[in-house]
Amino acid sequence: MLGVKKNNLNNFLEKISSGYQLFVPAEVEGTTRFTAYQAGVQLALERNTVVPPKELFFPQTEHMYCYKAHKQEAAVEEIAAACEPRVLFGARPCDVQSLAVLDDVFLTKGYEDLFYKNKRENTLVIALGCRKPEPTCFCSSLGVDPSGTELADVMAWDAGEALVFEAKSDKGKKFLEENSAQLEDLAGVTQPTAECTMVLQVEGLTAKLQKMFEHSLWNEICKKCLNCGTCTYLCPTCHCFDIQGKTRGESGVKFRCWDSCMYQEYTLMAGGHNPRPSKKERVRQRFLHKLQYIPERYGKWGCVGCGRCVVKCPVNVDITRIIKQIGEVSLDA
Ligand code: SF4
Ligand code: SF4
Q: Check residues 34 and 193 and name the one with the higher pLDDT.
A: 34
- The pick from 228, 259, 280, 284 for probing ligand 1's pocket by mutation, whose C-beta has the most ligand atoms within 8 angstroms, reads 228
pLDDT of amino acid 308: 98
Q: Give me the pLDDT at residue 333, please.
A: 57
105 has pLDDT over 70: yes
pLDDT digits (tens, 9 = 90+) for 250-299: 999 999 999 999 999 999 999 999 999 999 999 999 999 999 999 999 99
Distance between CA atoms of residues 86 and 89, nearest Å: 10
Residue 87: helix, strand or coil by DSSP? Answer: strand
Asked if 228 and 261 count as a contact pair (C-beta separation under 8 A), the reply is no
Q: Is the CB of 221 under 6 A from ligand 2?
A: no
Q: List C-alpha distances in Å: 13 to 39, 89, 160, 175, 197.
A: 9, 9, 18, 13, 32
Give Cβ neighbours of residue 82 (< 8 Å, ≥ 6 apart): 118, 122
Q: What pLDDT sits at residue 144? A: 97
Question: What's the pLDDT tens digit per position in 201-238?
Answer: 999 999 999 999 999 999 999 999 999 999 999 999 99
Average pLDDT over residues 104-116: 96
The rounded Å distance from CA 304 to ligand 2 centre is 6
Q: Is the pLDDT of residue 331 over 60?
A: yes
Find out whether the beta carbon of 307 lies less than 6 Å from any atom of ligand 2: yes
